[in-house]
């Protein structure tokens, strides 16, 4: 794949595309500190049959623009978010800026984890740009909902690796804690993807700035109640990082949202769900795109 760069409003974003421009577009938004390569190429290629799929590095991740500024995460967690450098609104506007750069008036927006929060925020701020919304293993931002287990929180906040080899082993440790207990885990693929991420650029300070953006952006529940967009909410029933209560709260807040909870799925996208996930995203997309074409 060819990585391209685009000016998306305030920042420069790195992105890749699958399928033909001119087909119904699908924008994939990844989670905290996570690069676009974690939308697996095989998943993207399968989703791109009859569609135009875009994956990108969020600001402060991978080959997209890294920002500056120290954040105090302990203070943010305690309620003082004054050190936050940007918000989820800014990250949502980045995504819309990428659509602008690609000449796309709207897209089917699919977000995972933090990416789900960003996708929700795109739908709130720019409803005309969102054909359908798919929010995967995410939540509403309401305090007290979907609190991680202590072990999952510790895994997420573990010290950053100091070498490529350490990064490859660390991700396995994390995935053993937060990954899907009910599905096979391809540990060699996980290791290799972590090595690629290291080569593309790992940014611990950017991870902290993204987490601060979650804290400062607060609760989206009331704003989600105003949405009028076909929405699919997907969540693992065994997710220890953002428990399934987050998905249930999201689906309850968005009028008409369809909730799909998956036994044995944790906080990752196991290959075993790809076929059904692509089919469900596709069914939502085709219903909307068919109506647009009529």
Condensed to tens digits (0 to 9), the pLDDT of residues 44-84 reads 999 999 999 999 999 999 999 999 999 999 999 999 999 99
Distance CA 111, CA 231 (A): 12
Q: In the predicted model, is pLDDT for residue 274 greater than 90? A: yes
Which tens digit of pLDDT belongs to each residue from 248-261? Answer: 999 999 999 999 99
**Secondary structure class of 23 (helix, strand, coil):** strand
Which tens digit of pLDDT belongs to each residue from 230-250? Answer: 999 999 999 999 999 999 999
Distance CA 230, CA 232 (A): 7
Q: How confident is the model at residue 293 (pLDDT cuts 50, 70, 90)?
A: low
Q: In the predicted model, is pLDDT for residue 1 greater than 80? A: no
* β strands within 159-251, DSSP E: 231-236
- pLDDT given for residue 294 in this prediction: 58
Question: Of 153, 115, 124, 132, which Cα lies nearest the Cα of 28?
Answer: 115
Q: How far is CA 57 from CA 32, 36, 173, 197, 216, in A?
A: 10, 5, 23, 11, 21
Q: How confident is the model at residue 195 (pLDDT cuts 50, 70, 90)?
A: very high
Strands 107-112 and 130-136: parallel
Which tens digit of pLDDT belongs to each residue from 206-220? Answer: 999 999 999 999 999
Distance CA 116, CA 286 (A): 21
Report the residue count for the chain. 294
What is the signed CA dihedral for 274, 170, 34, 216, rounded to 10 degrees? 120
Question: Of 86, 117, 113, 83, which Cα lies nearest the Cα of 11?
Answer: 86
Q: In the predicted model, is pLDDT for residue 9 greater than 90? A: no
Question: Of 115, 108, 131, 112, which Cα lies nearest the Cα of 48?
Answer: 108
Tell me the β-bridge partners of 108: 26, 132
């070498």: which residue's tokens? Answer: 163
Q: Are the CB atoms for 278 and 261 separated by under 8 Å? A: no
% of the chain with per-residue pLDDT over 90: 95
Domains, in order of start, for the chain: 4-146+202-293 (3.40.50.1820)
Q: How far is CA 49 from CA 19, 24, 128, 278, in A?
A: 7, 10, 24, 10
Q: Tokens for 219?
A: 């609760």
Mean of the per-residue pLDDT values of the chain:
96
Distance CA 105, CA 270 (A): 31
Q: How far is CA 52 from CA 17, 24, 59, 104, in A?
A: 7, 6, 22, 11
Q: Are the CB atoms for 86 and 67 separated by under 8 Å? A: yes
Q: How confident is the model at residue 114 (pLDDT cuts 50, 70, 90)?
A: very high
Question: Of 197, 245, 204, 202, which Cα lies nearest the Cα of 221?
Answer: 245
Tell me the β-bridge partners of 132: 108
Q: How confident is the model at residue 176 (pLDDT cuts 50, 70, 90)?
A: very high
Average pLDDT on 279-284 reads: 96
- pLDDT given for residue 48 in this prediction: 98
- pLDDT given for residue 249 in this prediction: 98
């Amino acid at each position: 794949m060819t990585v391209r760069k685009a000016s998306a409003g305030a920042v420069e974003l790195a992105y890749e595309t699958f399928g033909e421009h001119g087909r119904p577009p699908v924008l994939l938004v990844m989670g905290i500190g996570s690069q676009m390569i974690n939308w697996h190429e095989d998943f993207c290629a399968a989703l791109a049959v009859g569609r135009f799929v875009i994956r990108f590095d969020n600001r402060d991740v991978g080959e997209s623009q890294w920002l500056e500024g120290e954040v105090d995460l302990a203070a943010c967690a305690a309620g003082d978010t004054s050190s936050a450098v940007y918000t989820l609104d800014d990250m949502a506007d980045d995504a819309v800026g990428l659509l602008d750069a690609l000449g796309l008036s709207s897209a089917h927006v699919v977000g995972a984890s933090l990416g789900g929060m960003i996708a929700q925020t795109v739908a709130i701020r720019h409803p005309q740009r969102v054909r359908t919304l798919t929010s995967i293993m995410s939540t509403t931002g309401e305090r007290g909902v979907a609190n991680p287990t202590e072990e999952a929180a510790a895994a997420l906040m573990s010290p950053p690796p100091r070498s490529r080899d350490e990064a490859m082993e660390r991700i396995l440790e994390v995935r053993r804690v937060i990954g899907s207990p009910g599905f096979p885990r391809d540990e060699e693929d996980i290791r290799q993807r972590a090595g690629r991420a290291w080569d593309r650029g790992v940014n611990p300070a950017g991870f902290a700035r993204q987490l601060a953006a979650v804290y400062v952006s607060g609760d989206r529940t009331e704003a989600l109640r105003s949405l009028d967009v076909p929405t699919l909410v997907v969540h693992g029933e065994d997710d220890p990082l953002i428990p399934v209560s987050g998905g249930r709260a999201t689906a309850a807040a968005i009028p008409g949202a369809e909730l799909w909870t998956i036994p044995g799925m944790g906080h990752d996208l196991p290959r075993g769900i790809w076929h059904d996930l692509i089919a469900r995203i596709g069914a939502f997309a085709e219903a909307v795109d068919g109506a647009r074409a009529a």
